[in-house]
Structure 1
Amino acid sequence: MKNTLTVYSDKRYIILWLCSFLTFGSLFFIISHFEDFFKEFSIKPPFKISSGLAVLLFSITAGCTRFFTVKLTNKYGEYKVIVGSILINFISCFGYYISSFFVSYSITIYIFLSFRILHGFSLIFQPVSTAIITGIFLKSQRGRFLSAFSLSASIAIGLFPMLSRLLDNHFSEIFLVASMFPLAALLLMMFYPRSSTDKKQNDDSNSVLFKESFPEKIYSPILITFLISIIYGSLIVLSIKMEKDIENEGIPEGFFFLVITIVSVFIRLITGKYFDKINRLVLLMISAFCATLTMIIFSFDRSLILFILGAFIFGVSRCIFTPITWAWIADVVPDETKEYCYSINTFSTEIGIGIGALMASIEYPEFINKYLIFAIFPAFSFIYLLSLYKFYNKTF
């Protein structure tokens, strides 16, 4: 097993980190433009199209990848599965680009949404790459190194929405540029050391979906992942609306995710080495509390100070939540079910994000504060985690 310096300089780790950065960069380069892009269609479909719908369609198929992640990895190996997921990302973004030239045709919206559904399958990259990364280092180091690995997504989520604003809603150019990021990731994968990790399972079962040895402890982190992901999905939609509400104070679109990124990078660089020394349940309780507090803050009237404060607190929640849930799962599952359990976690994440985005797109009566509704989910997570810590296993 490698020491810290060797892990960070490992060629597999570096390439997967960069590919993750480019993958999430392409996703969030376009996501804030969907609402405006849908207004370009001269012929509207019989249903409401919104950014929430776009996120939901992506999330459903991204979640469904869990049903065949293990089977594909068993059959083709990790390298081919990762390359395939990146290729799907490229095809989808380029499909958006082609669709942007035919917005005057009624069928184009259906073609566009079909590419959106296809695009979700590209996120099979996440559980497979995470499985590879967790195999590189010791159990006692998982929280720290998964925290560093998840920084790739955090930085991309904060940086790329801001960069996309340079194209000022020139949608064809936005989609074309977004397709270049997975193309760069494909080029990086040409230098990936296949012989080191491109392994296939010798298990002759099609997958481990129905193994009786499936660990019961997996259900708790999956439940927490689902509940907190609902908040994240809602804020993907609501943050865009909040930024527009206070735009006259000089807040550009994408500022919310930029604040989250800055907070995540700072906290992980300063405290990342302590992630494996503190009880995982305690860390997740902090994350759930911060997510609850964020939604309570956003429930008040719009102001620049409250917006930045809420984004800062949610950044704290997010930078803890992502690596610790993955590390928690890695701690409690046997190696033979590792990739499947990561796929299940991806499924719960994406379904949670999709449900949250869809709920955020719904118009509620004026007497209902939607932010307080969303605060219920992390509040329940906090109570559930506290019960686990108090009455059950305290050794996570």
Structure 2
Amino acid sequence: MCLSSLLFFMSFNMLLPELPDYLTRLGGEDYKGFIIALFTLTAGISRPFSGKLADTVGRIPVMVFGSLVCFICGFFYPFAVTVTAFLGLRLLHGFSTGFKPTGTAAFIADIIPLERRGEAMGLLGVAGSVGMAAGPMLGSWLAQRFSLNTLFYCSSGLALLSLVVQGTMTETLPKTQRQPFSWKLLRLESWEEVFEPRVLAPAVVTLLCLFPFGAVLTVVPDQSRFLGLVGENKGLFYTCYTGASLVIRLVAGRASDKYGRVPVLIGSSAIMVASLGLLALAQSAPVFLAGAILLGLGTGLNSPTLYAWTVDLSHPERRGRAVATMYIALEMGIGLGALLAGWVFANKPSHLPYVHLFSVFSVLAGLVYLLIWRRKTAA
């Protein structure tokens, strides 16, 4: 599962450093915020369906569909030669992350005991972090040494390898719960099929703490260029960010199993606030990359803990939908962050600090929510 996730995350993350410049060359420099926002829009919309299908058809079919979308979309980027076609393809590409991670998290929750859930989610996060670190670095290298089309086809190839790995796995959804796929399963008959109320708390924290991720993904390519990180160094921010995230997940993967989910989330949120402050103040590449490292440490603690907390609160028979609810909040946070960042930035370097300050306020709101939650549950 970790190998499949590594390949999947590499597949679509390797595109990120090059897409803003590519869109600019197509004449769409004013739409940079939509690169992430449209991707997350369809990912968020598809979550209720992927969650329901994971609980009825199976975890593996949901993962296979997500990887298949990634594989197909990679081949079509070279043909998206207008702004409309490019943005339409980003919209379709989002279905990949709407399905694959939902099935993955449910699969992991099925096979890991409660007392090691945080550790397992941390290890899964390590695989994702390696993919996120290696992907942008490899993508920039391929684009510089070969061509953008080579980059797109390699992205598609990695998604295909992820599909091959999934073919070696055994379905974990009990046979008594499985149903053959039918179009009726895509009909949502109640609000509870969209939102799992048991996991409201982790969903709120996910939305507020993932808002900065969408903002950062939107402005980092331009901020990197303004600070002199060009060519093969364009993906250096992502490498520092995901490298730090990887290290902390290896070292502190069991932290939430030992100390509790909420205390770890409080600490990770404080680290994220400090990192975003550095990004807002960055006038040089070293300060900028220091912010990337701190952000990686904060999110490296934050993400697996949110996964584990979501699974803790979910009912076993609605685990797919609970995970999907958390992911809907994730996509909303990332999408809103990307849209606001694109609007605030407006291709003006002097506006970059304001983008990161909006992210600081979002994480602070999440931190306050966690403190209120802790006091409420303690009482």
Q: 2:224 aligns with which of 243, 250, 255?
A: 243
Which residue identity lines up with residue 87 of structure 2 in the other structure?
L
Alignment of 1:253-292 (within 5 A): 253-292=234-273
State the TM-score, normalized to the length of structure 2: 0.88
Which residue identity lines up with residue 185 of structure 1 in the other structure?
S
The answer to whether 1:180 aligns with 2:157 is: yes
Q: RMSD value over aligned CA atoms?
A: 2.7
Secondary structure (helix, strand or coil) at the match of 1:153 reads helix
Q: Distance in 2 between matches of 1:215 and 1:54?
A: 29
Which residue identity lines up with residue 357 of structure 2 in the other structure?
L
Gaps of 5+ in 1: 1-15
Q: Distance in 1 between matches of 2:300 and 2:123?
A: 10
Q: Distance in 1 between matches of 2:199 and 2:141?
A: 43
Q: Give per-residue Cα distances to partners, 1:91-121, cap 9 Å, x unaligned.
A: 111111333xxx3xxxx33223222111111
Q: Give per-residue Cα distances to partners, 1:198-252, cap 9 Å, x unaligned.
A: 757369997695459x864411110110011110111112222221122269981
Residues 79 and 198 of structure 1 are in contact (CA less than 8 Å); yes or no, is this contact kept in structure 2?
no
Q: Distance in 1 between matches of 2:298 and 2:190?
A: 31
Q: 1:116 to 1:331 in 2, by over 3 A?
A: same
Q: Give per-residue Cα distances to partners, 1:106-158, cap 9 Å, x unaligned.
A: xx332232221111111111111111101112111110111101111111111
Which residue identity lines up with residue 85 of structure 1 in the other structure?
G
Which residue identity lines up with residue 24 of structure 1 in the other structure?
F
The equivalent of 1:190 in structure 2 is 167
Q: Give per-residue Cα distances to partners, 1:287-310, cap 9 Å, x unaligned.
A: 111111112112224123321221
Which residue identity lines up with residue 163 of structure 1 in the other structure?
L
The equivalent of 1:346 in structure 2 is 327
Percent of aligned pairs with the same amino acid: 25
Shift of 1:394: 4.3
Residues 298 and 306 of structure 1 are in contact (CA less than 8 Å); yes or no, is this contact kept in structure 2?
yes
Which residue identity lines up with residue 113 of structure 1 in the other structure?
L
Q: Distance in 2 between matches of 1:249 and 1:85?
A: 32
State the TM-score, normalized to the length of structure 1: 0.85
Q: 1:243 to 1:48 in 2, by over 3 A?
A: closer
Q: Give per-residue Cα distances to partners, 1:357-377, cap 9 Å, x unaligned.
A: 121112459587332222100
Q: 1:57 to 1:215 in 2, by over 3 A?
A: closer
Q: How many residues end up aligned between the 2 structures? A: 366
Residues 54 and 106 of structure 2 are in contact (CA less than 8 Å); yes or no, is this contact kept in structure 1?
no
Larger helix proportion of the pair: 2
Shift of 1:80: 1.9
The answer to whether 1:393 aligns with 2:368 is: no
Q: 1:200 to 1:131 in 2, by over 3 A?
A: farther
Which residue identity lines up with residue 316 of structure 2 in the other structure?
D
Shift of 1:167: 2.2
Q: 2:134 aligns with which of 148, 151, 159?
A: 159
The equivalent of 1:383 in structure 2 is 368
Q: 1:330 to 1:301 in 2, by over 3 A?
A: closer
Which residue identity lines up with residue 191 of structure 1 in the other structure?
T
The structure with more radius of gyration: 1
Q: 1:215 to 1:301 in 2, by over 3 A?
A: closer
The answer to whether 1:36 aligns with 2:36 is: no
Greater shift, 267-276 or 153-162, is seen at 267-276
The answer to whether 1:142 aligns with 2:117 is: yes
Q: Give per-residue Cα distances to partners, 1:338-371, cap 9 Å, x unaligned.
A: 1101001111111211111121112459587332
Q: Distance in 2 between matches of 1:374 and 1:274?
A: 25
Q: 1:216 to 1:164 in 2, by over 3 A?
A: closer
The answer to whether 1:49 aligns with 2:40 is: no
Residues 292 and 378 of structure 1 are in contact (CA less than 8 Å); yes or no, is this contact kept in structure 2?
yes
Q: Distance in 1 between matches of 2:16 and 2:306?
A: 25
Q: Distance in 2 between matches of 1:333 and 1:208?
A: 20
Shift of 1:72: 2.6
The answer to whether 1:201 aligns with 2:185 is: no
